[in-house]
Structure 1
Amino acid sequence: MEHVQGLLSSSRAALAPGDEGAVITSIETYALAVPLAQTLNDATTRLTAWTVPVVEIRTADGRVGTGISGVHNGAELLTQVIDNYYAPALLGAASEDILGTWKRLYWRPTHWIGRAGVVHMALAMVDIALWDLAAQRAGVPLWRLLGGTAGDIETYNTDGGWLNLSVAELERDLSSLVDQGWRRVKVKVGKDNWREDAARVRAARQAVGPDVTLMCDANMRWDFSTAARLLPVLEEVGMDWFEEPVHADDIQSHQRLQAATTLDIAAGESLYSYQAFANFIAADALRVIQVDVTRVGGVTEWLQVAKHAAANGLRVVPHAGDMMQVHQHLAGTFLSETPPLLEFIPWTQNAFVHRTVVRNGYAQRPQEPGASTAIAPAARKQWQIKGTGSTSTPS
């Protein structure tokens, strides 16, 4: 206790009066490998589990803020960035100084090797944890702290259109989702032979009928000529959007595709900064902005991207690297003429203390204080990856 009091004294200059309890006293990282019910493929990846890297930031008042990410692999890289580079700058600091902390961590020397990717995703984990603490301290769910709308939010389901499914399985799974209440579903494309993709999207439309909204996602696997060749087929079946048709950094090809079609081009899960999104928006290369809180720098940068996109009349539909846990708070927290929409993938529901609640395709707003990121103890015991993560305390 004396050590904590000393820490408080050394930090008071950076704290508002009465906020001594907000001092960060320890940081713990670990990761979970949550198994999937079945093996799934998109155009780039074969998945048997979804990995959830975690950071828990404890403060002097006994609160714990939890930040998460979502990756195919490499969770140890994210935890190492936090343990080795961010934790020394966080211990003894004020957890309530969220924007100041974001800037301090962003401009540490790691900036020069990671303005995107692992380093930036580690920053997102810390930022989410700090916002979780802020909402807990306010005694409200994060969406309420951010001034969000209280109504239920429509979701679209990605968990029935995977690329390793046969056409018959694809039709069955999509039909099942519609029977469960979803009015928006997504199908994966990106086969080696584009004619197979054409057949799949036609079968998908036949399965769901004319009144269900259908999207497709190529996961960057096509070049411009292949994507352009498929546009007439996608228009024929009435696709709502065409997601990640080409490499994520190829602004020009996205721009040319958007100019060539009445469909909306969508992307964002592979963009890591406000500046990257701003460049795509300025080029009129996207109409659906799929900003992911675990890929950009957390809640702080997500809000900046979302507000900029909405101000330009674009749809903001987050990619669910977090499996919707944080995004269910963020959707509907900015002015937009289009209703909020969330991507639903149920893989990690059992990992969290507070599961998302979706009925008839609509997500109900969480009511518990925080960002819905706290990890269930039983999940940690069952799925924690050995040898990943550590605990940092003042020396």
Structure 2
Amino acid sequence: MTDQTPFGTARGLLSAHGADLLRGDDGAVITSVETYALAVPLKRPIADATAALAHWTVPVVEIRTADGRVGTGISGIHCAPELLSDVITSYYADALLDTSSEDILGTWKRLYWLPTHWMGRAGVIHMALAMVDIALWDLAAQRAGMPLWRLLGGTPDSVEAYNTDGGWLNLTDADLVRDLTSLIDRGWSRVKIKVGRPDWREDARRARAVRRAIGDDVTLMCDANQRWDLSTANKIMPAFEEVAMDWVEEPFHADDLQAHARLQASTRLDVAAGESIYSYHQFASFVAADAIRVVQADVTRVGGVTEWLQIASHAASRGLRLAPHAGDMMQVHQHLVGTVLSEVPPLVEFIPWTQEAFVERSVVREGLMERPQSPGASTAIDPSARARWQIPGVGGTRTV
């Protein structure tokens, strides 16, 4: 069968055409979709086991409605923001324009089942869907006149945070210890280090040095960024148990469910993953196999707020910890954590790289993140940041 639709107007048989949908409130109708991206410079170069970075790229979609509101969706990536922008402007925009921004779940299903579904149910296609979904939830919270966490039923209590911005793999042993002890001196009680060096013994040595420096009362986690095989993980795990590592994050390739399950069965430490898991179904498989005990669903990697909430509820119903990976640099996650019924205290990852890019910045005191108070999802981009850091040639605008 040959697709007769013009390029850029892909429409799935499972996706209703916008003209066939109820519009609802005329003010909530989508009138334009704009994409662009920022390259936000880091204060210092950093590296983990897979990448070295000097800036963080923030793809952005702004969805405007007839009543003049602007909903902002974001992502966070290492490179290639034009791929996300192209999916939204060339394919998703046709299914968004002249439809209701209030139909969040309906829009999610409509975009998900476009023919782009067969180009990839994860990665770029799904991350673009996440950006749109975040923008629609931002609009919903604005229209309700409240921050997103309150719209979702969350409590106003501050949320405990852990700091990832001091344990980078490119630091010398001395600098690693100095960075982490500095964080402790500033009130942080939970910190994370990167592991995954070619020789696992170096990781063991660095972990022991950190534990000696920070003492036994500070919670310590580690992240291998998928660099191990099962043999390496088994060799290093006794050292990590010795230093009371709170969790071991992404030890293996993200698709290797069996390796995660075998490691989790062999250690008293919790295995964590989620940064590179893109759907509720995949998370459900990992949970069913008892392959992870810490669920790190990232709102920018799964299908936005809508799918994140489903994953969070699933994890909570099984008594698992939820600690989202902060691809959004916690702008959205500060609203999402603590909004599902769970006996496990909420926890959010703190990485301050992009704070200057946003109108509303995160507030953390003594390791506790305060709930934002402005209506919306805290995703609106500061115009001065756009003027400084927008990447030329990336993005576009579609209007009704």
Q: Please name the residue that 2:177 is paired with.
A: 171
Q: Please name the residue that 2:377 is paired with.
A: 371
| Unaligned 5+ runs, structure 1 | 1-9
Q: Please name the residue that 1:118 is paired with.
A: 124
Matched, 1:320 2:326: yes
**Residues 270, 13 of structure 1: CA spacing in aligned structure 2 closer, same or farther, 3 A cutoff?**
closer
Whether the 8 Å CA contact 2:21–2:99 is kept in 1: the answer is: no
AA of the residue aligned to 2:22 = A
Whether the 8 Å CA contact 2:63–2:135 is kept in 1: the answer is: yes
Cα distance between partner residues in 2 of 1:69 and 1:49: 14
| Unaligned 5+ runs, structure 2 | 1-17
Kindly state the Cα deviation for residue 11 of structure 1 after the two structures are TM-superposed: 6.1
Cα distance between partner residues in 1 of 2:377 and 2:288: 32
Match of 1:193 among 193, 196, 199: 199
Match of 1:223 among 224, 229, 247: 229
Q: Please name the residue that 1:51 is paired with.
A: 57
Kindly state the Cα deviation for residue 12 of structure 1 after the two structures are TM-superposed: 9.5
Whether the 8 Å CA contact 2:332–2:377 is kept in 1: the answer is: yes
Cα distance between partner residues in 2 of 1:106 and 1:123: 7
Match of 1:358 among 364, 383, 387: 364
Cα distance between partner residues in 1 of 2:158 and 2:319: 22
Kindly state the Cα deviation for residue 143 of structure 1 after the two structures are TM-superposed: 0.2
Q: Secondary structure at the match of 1:14?
A: coil
AA of the residue aligned to 1:296 = V
Kindly state the Cα deviation for residue 149 of structure 1 after the two structures are TM-superposed: 1.3
| Paired residue total | 383
TM-score (ref. length: structure 2): 0.95
Cα distance between partner residues in 2 of 1:147 and 1:32: 32
Matched, 1:14 2:7: no
Percent sequence identity is 72
Matched, 1:310 2:306: no
AA of the residue aligned to 1:70 = G
- Give matches, 1:246-325, under 5 Å: 246-325=252-331
Whether the 8 Å CA contact 1:289–1:316 is kept in 2: the answer is: yes
Kindly state the Cα deviation for residue 207 of structure 1 after the two structures are TM-superposed: 1.6
**Residues 82, 335 of structure 1: CA spacing in aligned structure 2 closer, same or farther, 3 A cutoff?**
same
Whether the 8 Å CA contact 1:11–1:23 is kept in 2: the answer is: no
Cα distance between partner residues in 2 of 1:12 and 1:181: 55
Cα distance between partner residues in 1 of 2:378 and 2:362: 8
- Give matches, 1:125-140, under 5 Å: 125-140=131-146
Kindly state the Cα deviation for residue 13 of structure 1 after the two structures are TM-superposed: 5.6
CA RMSD of superposed structures (Å): 0.9
TM-score (ref. length: structure 1): 0.96
Cα deviation code 1:74-114 (max 9, x no counterpart)? 11100000010000110000000000000000000000011
Cα distance between partner residues in 2 of 1:181 and 1:26: 44
Q: Secondary structure at the match of 2:212?
A: helix
Cα distance between partner residues in 2 of 1:204 and 1:275: 37
AA of the residue aligned to 2:154 = G
Q: Please name the residue that 2:45 is paired with.
A: 39
Kindly state the Cα deviation for residue 15 of structure 1 after the two structures are TM-superposed: 2.6
Cα distance between partner residues in 2 of 1:169 and 1:272: 34
Cα distance between partner residues in 1 of 2:370 and 2:27: 32
Q: Secondary structure at the match of 2:160?
A: strand
